[in-house]
Copies of this chain bind each other. A is one copy, B any other.
Amino acid sequence: MPYDPSAFPPFAVTVDLVVLTVRRHALCALTVRRGEPPFQGRWALPGGFVRDDEDLAQAAARELAEETGLRAHDPSAPAQDNGAHLEQLATYGDPKRDPRMRVVSVAHLALAPDLPAPRPGSDASGARWAPVEELLQQGGHGRDGEQAAPLAFDHAQILADGVERARSKIEYSSLATAFCPPEFTVGELRRVYEAVWGVALDPRNFHRKVTGTPGFLVPAGGTTTRQGGRPAQLFRAGGATLLNPPMLRPEV
């Protein structure tokens, strides 16, 4: 049967990225300023059209590289290199989500270690890391308390879904190590959990949990004092990707 273009409505398909990192004890997301209408001048999640010969994951990896310079590593490969974790998040297809035309966006979630500086892509007039707390409270607040415009399109919803995915996934997986440099201390990993969950964790119980889970952390051999205080052992992410039993997120 030949291809019949009249048999289905044409869609534009894009990928949007929720890129998260931890900076200064806060969970931050990468946002870009829109250079053209609609929502000109407003902040949005980075993203772009899927090309004709691209898989969705390839498109997301390409956009991530364009915006941040990060390579995405295959989720099935060991998390040893400096690449970012990248996974599909969800797909958003409300007929009115883009006023110009029918766009279906396949959102992806990327987790990255703290990066030197945002690298604006060619299609955005600016990029910055913004604390998700500011971005998500209705209307948003700048750092001085003034009202900030909410994210463009349905990107606030996409960001909220991505943040919730990250928050729940570090409970039962080793995903939190994706926020850390290749070698890190138990305390640095704990500060990641504290920033993502927005809670304080007991350093002693946390240490017992992560060092007692086989395959989660492997000693990297050295120590560091970059956090001040007593030197801490350096670890690398181990092969275990699933945490069983999970790390429990404290209530409220």
- A interface vs B, CB < 8 Å? 1, 3, 5, 7-13, 36-37, 49-56, 88, 90-95, 100-102, 104, 106, 245-246, 248
Those 3 A-B pairs whose CB atoms lie nearest each other, nearest first: A10-B10, A56-B93, A9-B52
A37 / chain B contacts, CB cutoff of 8 Å: 1
Q: Could you tell me if A13 and B93 are in contact, using CB atoms closer than 8 angstroms?
A: yes
Q: Could you tell me if B13 and A11 are in contact, using CB atoms closer than 8 angstroms?
A: yes
Q: Could you tell me if A95 and B10 are in contact, using CB atoms closer than 8 angstroms?
A: no
Could you tell me the distance between the alpha carbons of A36 and B55 in the complex, rounded to whole angstroms?
26
Q: Could you tell me if A9 and B49 are in contact, using CB atoms closer than 8 angstroms?
A: yes
Could you tell me the distance between the alpha carbons of A7 and B102 in the complex, rounded to whole angstroms?
13
Number of copies: 2
A8 / chain B contacts, CB cutoff of 8 Å: 12-13, 49
Q: Could you tell me if B1 and A36 are in contact, using CB atoms closer than 8 angstroms?
A: yes
CB nearest neighbor in B for A52: B9
A9 / chain B contacts, CB cutoff of 8 Å: 49-52
CB nearest neighbor in B for A59: B93
A245 / chain B contacts, CB cutoff of 8 Å: 248
Q: Could you tell me if A100 and B53 are in contact, using CB atoms closer than 8 angstroms?
A: no
A248 / chain B contacts, CB cutoff of 8 Å: 245
A100 / chain B contacts, CB cutoff of 8 Å: 1, 3
Given contacts A9-B49, A10-B11, A106-B104, whether A54 and B1 have CB atoms under 8 Å apart is: no
CB nearest neighbor in B for A88: B90
Q: Could you tell me if B3 and A95 are in contact, using CB atoms closer than 8 angstroms?
A: no
A92 / chain B contacts, CB cutoff of 8 Å: 56
Can you list 6 contacts pairing A with B, beta carbon distance less than 8 Å? A8-B49, A9-B49, A9-B52, A13-B104, A88-B90, A104-B106
Shortest C-beta distance, A172 to chain B (Å), equals 9
A50 / chain B contacts, CB cutoff of 8 Å: 9, 11, 93, 104
Shortest C-beta distance, A36 to chain B (Å), equals 6
A102 / chain B contacts, CB cutoff of 8 Å: 52
Which residue of B12, B55, B90, B104 is within 8 Å of A94 (Cβ)? B55
